Chain A
Amino acid sequence: MEVKKEAKTNDKRTEAYRMGLVVLILLAALTIGEYFIGSIAVGWLAPLWGIAILKAVLIMRDYMHFSRLFGEGEEEHS
């Protein structure tokens, strides 16, 4: 029973680490994208704003766990 619980905790932890890495890769890709848009299409502001908002949403949702604000305890870590 205890072993089963520990295995489940390990699975959840591995999944949470993996999710963090996926978000980092997405953020890196978006940053490189905005760097090239900024270098090539000078004055094209709308896509840069779009990318910035997308990055902010990713960080707030997956790193800051904004949804926790509407939950109860400390145990609901993704």
Chain B
Amino acid sequence: MTTQADTGHNYRFKTATNRLGLWLFILSDAFLFGGLLVSRFYLLGKTRPELIQLLGLAVTAILLASSFFMNRAETAIAHGDRKTFLNGMLITIVLGSLFVIGVVGFEWQLAPFSAGENAAASIFFTMTGFHAFHVITGVIFLAIVYRNGRRGLYTPERHFPVEAAAVYWHFVDVVWVFFYPALYLMGTVAG
């Protein structure tokens, strides 16, 4: 016979296992981005591609703000505040989309070089491209969680999908925390 307490215990066990799997995935993905970061310094050394500084700062601010709203949404569902949860998710989705528009729609189009032109151009498009792909998949993930949240599938006790989406989203933010200075701030502009 299964009691309520047993079910709760099983759920906690499953959550702990899922959480470990999630972090192992994050770790494996971190190696990919770590490799790209090392490639950037191997290829460019103390130079960097010529980019629009203010745009870089703006997209960074957008991504950091999105992490704040994602954290707020996760905190809200953990405390039973469904309205704040849904609002936070929606704002995060909008900010994530704005980030992609900023990088792919503006920075890529306005960059004074094309993808295969030189090492600086290649590494810039590879790093931002891989990262933008992760942001896009993150936005899709968030949209699914938002839809499920609207349908009332999450409770303060059971909301691991929200936590997984949040951890993935913050990871994408952590990657940009390193990519932003590596691409925009470190070194002199490559001539």
Cβ–Cβ < 8 Å partners of B159 in chain A: 74
Partner of A20, one of B20, B72, B79, B160: B72
With A48-B185, A63-B70 known to touch, is A55 a contact of B177 (CB < 8 Å)?
A: yes
Cβ–Cβ < 8 Å partners of A52 in chain B: 177-178, 180-181
Complex Cα gap A76–B67 (Å): 20
Complex Cα gap A17–B60 (Å): 22
Q: Are A74 and B15 in contact (CB under 8 A)?
A: yes
With A23-B68, A64-B171 known to touch, is A34 a contact of B181 (CB < 8 Å)?
A: yes
Partner of A31, one of B46, B61, B174: B61
Residue of B nearest to A76 (CB): B78
Q: Are B67 and A59 in contact (CB under 8 A)?
A: yes
Q: Are A24 and B185 in contact (CB under 8 A)?
A: no
Q: Are A69 and B20 in contact (CB under 8 A)?
A: yes
Interface 9-mer from B102-110, B113-121, B142-150, B162-170: B162-170
With A24-B68, A74-B158, A77-B79 known to touch, is A48 a contact of B186 (CB < 8 Å)?
A: yes
Place the interface of chain A in its size category: 35 or more
Cβ–Cβ < 8 Å partners of A56 in chain B: 174, 177-178
Q: Are A63 and B166 in contact (CB under 8 A)?
A: yes
Cβ–Cβ < 8 Å partners of B130 in chain A: none
With A43-B46, A63-B70, A74-B158 known to touch, is A12 a contact of B181 (CB < 8 Å)?
A: no
With A38-B181, A74-B160 known to touch, is A9 a contact of B19 (CB < 8 Å)?
A: no
With A27-B64, A74-B12 known to touch, is A16 a contact of B75 (CB < 8 Å)?
A: yes
Q: Are A72 and B78 in contact (CB under 8 A)?
A: no
Cβ–Cβ < 8 Å partners of B167 in chain A: 64
Complex Cα gap A45–B178 (Å): 12
Q: Are B75 and A31 in contact (CB under 8 A)?
A: no
Complex Cα gap A75–B11 (Å): 12
> Residues of A with Cβ closer than 8 Å to B?
9-10, 12-13, 16-17, 20-21, 23-24, 27-28, 31, 34-35, 37-39, 42-43, 45, 48-49, 51-52, 55-56, 59-60, 62-64, 68-69, 72-75, 77
